[in-house]
Amino acid sequence: MNYRHAYHAGNFADVVKHAVLARVLTHLRDKPAAFRVIDTHAGAGVYDLSGIEAGKTLEWRDGIDRLIGADLDQPARALLAPYLDAVAALNPAGALTAYPGSPALTQALLRPQDRLIACELEPQAAAALSNRLRGDARAKAVAIDGWTALTAYVPPKERRGLVLVDPPFEQPGELSRLTQALAAAHRKWPTGCYLLWYPIKDTTEVASFVRKLSRLAIAKTLRIELILATSTEDKGLRGTGLIAVNPPWRLYEELESLLPALGNILSRGAACRTTLSWLTGEITT
Ligand SMILES: C[S@@+](CC[C@H](N)C(=O)[O-])C[C@H]1O[C@@H](n2cnc3c(N)ncnc32)[C@H](O)[C@@H]1O
| Mean pLDDT value of segment 53-79 | 96
Q: For atom 1 of ligand 1, which residue has the closest CA?
A: 168
142 lines ligand 1 (CB under 6 A): no
- From the CA of 5, give the closest atom in ligand 1: 2
145 lines ligand 1 (CB under 6 A): yes
pLDDT at 236: 81
147 lines ligand 1 (CB under 6 A): yes
CB 197 within 8 A of CB 17: yes
Active centre residues (catalytic): 166
Query: Ligand 1: which of 121, 165, 177, 242 to mutate, most ligand atoms within 8 Å of CB?
Result: 121
Query: Ligand 1: which of 41, 47, 197 to mutate, most ligand atoms within 8 Å of CB?
Result: 41
- From the CA of 104, give the closest atom in ligand 1: 9
Please state, in angstroms and rounded to a whole number, the distance separating the CA atoms of residues 126 and 110: 21
Helical H runs in the chain?
Answer: 12-28, 52-57, 64-68, 74-90, 102-109, 123-133, 146-153, 174-188, 203-215, 251-266
Q: How confident is the model at residue 270 (pLDDT cuts 50, 70, 90)?
A: confident
Q: How confident is the model at residue 92 (pLDDT cuts 50, 70, 90)?
A: very high
Q: What is the tens place of the pLDDT at every residue in 106-128? A: 999 999 999 999 999 999 999 99
pLDDT at 34: 98
The H or E element spanning position 237 is: none
47 lines ligand 1 (CB under 6 A): no
Q: What is the tens place of the pLDDT at every residue in 124-147? A: 999 999 999 999 999 999 999 999
43 lines ligand 1 (CB under 6 A): yes
Please state, in angstroms and rounded to a whole number, the distance separating the CA atoms of residues 236 and 229: 12
Q: For atom 19 of ligand 1, which residue has the closest CA?
A: 145
CB 261 within 8 A of CB 73: yes
Distance of CA 73 from the midpoint of ligand 1 (Å)? 33
- Hey, is 193 helix, strand or coil? strand
- From the CA of 164, give the closest atom in ligand 1: 6
Please state, in angstroms and rounded to a whole number, the distance separating the CA atoms of residues 245 and 79: 20
Assess whether pLDDT exceeds 90 at residue 75: yes
The DSSP bridge pattern shows strands 221-227 and 273-278 to be antiparallel
Q: For atom 6 of ligand 1, which residue has the closest CA?
A: 42
pLDDT at 282: 47
Please state, in angstroms and rounded to a whole number, the distance separating the CA atoms of residues 107 and 214: 32
Cis before 155? omega within 30: yes
Give first-to-last CA distance, the chain, whole Å.
Answer: 37
Domains of the chain and any CATH numbers? 5-278 (3.40.50.150)
Q: What is the tens place of the pLDDT at every residue in 47-62? A: 999 999 999 999 999 9
Distance of CA 79 from the midpoint of ligand 1 (Å)? 26
How long a stretch of residues is the chain? Answer: 285
Instruction: List, edge to edge, every strand of the sheet that includes 115-119.
Output: 139-142, 115-119, 36-39, 161-165, 193-200, 239-245, 221-227, 273-278
Q: What is the tens place of the pLDDT at every residue in 211-236? A: 999 999 999 999 999 999 865 555 68
CA distances from 223 to 20, 21, 285 (A): 12, 14, 11
Tell me, rounded to whole angstroms, the distance of Cα 145 from its chain centroid: 18
127 lines ligand 1 (CB under 6 A): no
Among 218, 199, 232, 276, residue whose Cα is nearest residue 20: 276
45 lines ligand 1 (CB under 6 A): no
